[in-house]
Amino acid sequence: MRPSRCRLSLTALLLTAVPAAAQRAPTAAGGAFLLLPVGARATALGQATAADGGTSEALFWNPAGLAALARSEFAIHHTTQFFGATDAIVIAVPSSSFGTFALAAYVVDYGDDQVTLPGGSDPVGTVTSRNVELLAGYATDVVGGLAAGIAYKLIQFRVDCSGDCANVPTATGTTHAVDVGLRYVFPAFPLVIGAAVRNVGFKLQVNNQAQADPLPARLQVGVSYGLRRPPTGVEGLDVRVLADLQGTVGQGTLSPVTLVGVEWGVRDVVRIRGGYAFLDSEARGPSIGIGVTFGSVAFDIAKVFFANDDLGEKEPIHLSLRAMF
């Protein structure tokens, strides 16, 4: 069999998702994908998402933000990475009486690796490596401007083989986790604060191996402040600034990292975004993006520029399509 691209892909994923070697906390290769950003809007804002809300993307960041959803939303998110591609579909339905419910499926595809027999050149099988995450979330307004949310996650890492796989090892690991969050909107001025704990759950154990690795649990707190247009400015123009602190939970003593973002535009018609993720990893760097809304359809695009370009030739491009109904 040729050298497995799966192993190379997982190594690349760890470089983007976990801290650099000098400060690395223990993280399962199969669970590191949980730190990859989902959604072009959140990615363009430098992942400063603790106080954000109002779209179905909140399910992946701070589930309390789902309570700010004004209409039902169906969203598709796609990302091209140097190691493969990620795709997510989300549906969120708000109710004035019962809160907001959301469901999502998220897949990270590392691509296929062909299997050849020793001395042969024709493929006899295919190895496929993927991460799969199924989510169910709920959020509701508690009192005043305070909202709370929770998301349950079924997480799986799997390596499958089709064809002649007699000498090809396969693997499957399944675990469970939850995210919980709070979000408070101040009534007197445009300030929002939020906090979320993500990926808190059981260790991921692949097959029946003795070693089980913890999930990359994170605590993130942040603020969002909106600046209205000056009296003589462009009608409808506004600016929003976001800043978060993110730290590990139960995985050593890593220093918190800072995530910042800014967004400006004319209402929801056109939104221009930028941010910087000061991560303790090779994936730190700036991000930019733009969002446009046509009636009940919104399209967002974002690109991340790694501060260290040794990760690969392709820097991530995130695409999101949201339909409100």
Among 16-20, 303-307, 316-320, where is mean pLDDT lowest?
A: 16-20
pLDDT confidence of residue 170: 77
Separation between Cα atoms, residue 184 and residue 149, nearest integer Å: 12
pLDDT, residue 309, reads 59
pLDDT at 34 over 80: yes
pLDDT at 228 over 90: no
Cβ count near 266 (within 10 Å):
14
127-167: pLDDT as tens digits = 888 899 999 999 999 998 999 999 999 999 888 888 777 77
pLDDT band at 244 (very low <50, low <70, confident <90, very high): very high
Residue 68 in this model has a pLDDT that exceeds 50: yes
HEC sequence for 40-59: HHHHHCCCCCCCCCCCCCHH
With 90 as the cut, is the pLDDT of residue 210 above it?
no
pLDDT at 8: 39
3-state secondary structure of 74: strand
pLDDT value at residue 264: 92
Q: What are phi and psi of 151, to 5 degrees?
A: -135, 130
Q: Judge whether residue 6 has pLDDT over 60.
A: no
Tell me the per-residue pLDDT of 258-303, one tens digit each, with 9 for 90 and over: 999 999 998 778 999 999 999 877 678 999 999 999 999 999 999 9
pLDDT bin (cut points 50, 70, 90) of residue 254 is: low
Per-residue burial over 199-209, b = 16 or more CB atoms within 10 Å of its CB, e = otherwise: bbbeebbbeee
Q: Kindly tell me if the per-residue pLDDT of 118 is higher than 90.
A: no
- Name residues whose C-beta falls within 8 Å of residue 162's C-beta, 6 or more positions apart in sequence: 125, 126, 128
Q: What is the pLDDT of residue 165?
A: 74
Q: What is the CA radius of gyration of the chain?
A: 20
Give 211's Cβ-side CA count (13 Å radius). 6
Bin 44: left if φ > 0, else alpha if -120 < ψ < 50, else beta: alpha
Note whether 250 and 26 are within 8 A (CB).
Answer: no
| Closest by CA position to 104, among listed 130, 129, 138 | 138
Largest Cα separation within the chain, whole Å, is: 76
Distance of CA 183 to the CA centre of its chain: 18
As a whole number of angstroms, the distance between CA 29 and CA 58 comes to 25
C-alpha 85/C-alpha 78 separation (Å) is 7
Give residue 28's pLDDT. Answer: 41
Q: What average pLDDT does the structure give for the chain?
A: 84
Q: Tell me what percent of the residues of the chain surpass a pLDDT of 70.
A: 82
Name which residue leads in pLDDT, 93 or 282. 93
The answer to whether 322 and 298 have CB atoms below 8 angstroms apart is: yes
pLDDT tens for residues 169-196?
777 889 999 999 999 999 988 999 999 9
Please say if the pLDDT value at position 24 is more than 50. Answer: no
Residues facing 85 on adjacent strands: 80, 109
